[in-house]
């Protein structure tokens, strides 16, 4: 697994970061706006946002003094790529099951 994929999985491993990502999927937000949705310090939220940014799951745009955090759907590509293996696994298994069922019902 690549370092990029490791960073994405690390970012997704924490439930708070997953919640933040869902929020940012609906709307871009400042650190203060994100922090207002959680019972934790602004510094703790900043750390979560840094991990999400390091994983490529969000982008951060400076607008004057504010930093606007946005969901980056392309950041999920390493996860989807990794999951493809399992998708093929299930396709093969289900095709074998279908063949077995078809033989038994014929």
pLDDT at 18: 97
Mean pLDDT of the chain: 91
Q: What is the pLDDT of residues 27-68, one digit of tens each?
A: 999 999 999 999 999 999 999 999 999 999 999 999 999 999
pLDDT at 58: 98
Domain ranges within the chain, ordered by starting residue: 3-105
CA dihedral 74, 78, 27, 63 (to 10 degrees): -70
The closest of 12, 24, 97, 99 to 51, measured between CA atoms, is 12
Which residues make Cβ contacts (< 8 Å) with residue 58, sequence separation at least 6? Answer: 21, 24, 49, 52, 69, 70, 71, 72, 75
User: Using N-to-C axis directions, what is the helix angle for 15-26 and 3-12, rounded to 10°?
Assistant: 90
Q: Would you say the pTM of this structure is higher than 0.75?
A: yes
- Average confidence (pLDDT) over 12-26: 97
Looking up tokens 């310090």, which residue turns up? 41
Pick the CATH number of 3-105 from 1.10.10.10, 3.40.50.720, 1.20.120.640, 2.40.160.20: 1.10.10.10
Higher-confidence residue of 90 and 77: namely: 77
């Amino acid at each position: 697994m690549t370092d990029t994929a490791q960073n994405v999985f690390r970012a997704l491993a924490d439930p708070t970061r997953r919640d933040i990502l869902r929020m940012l999927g609906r709307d871009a937000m400042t650190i203060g706006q994100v922090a207002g949705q959680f019972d934790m310090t602004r510094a703790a939220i900043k750390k979560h946002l840094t991990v999400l940014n390091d994983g490529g799951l969000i982008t951060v745009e400076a607008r004057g003094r504010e930093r606007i955090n946005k969901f980056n759907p392309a950041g999920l590509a390493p996860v989807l790529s990794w999951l493809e293996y399992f998708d093929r696994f299930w396709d093969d298994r289900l095709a074998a099951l279908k063949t077995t069922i078809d033989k038994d019902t014929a």
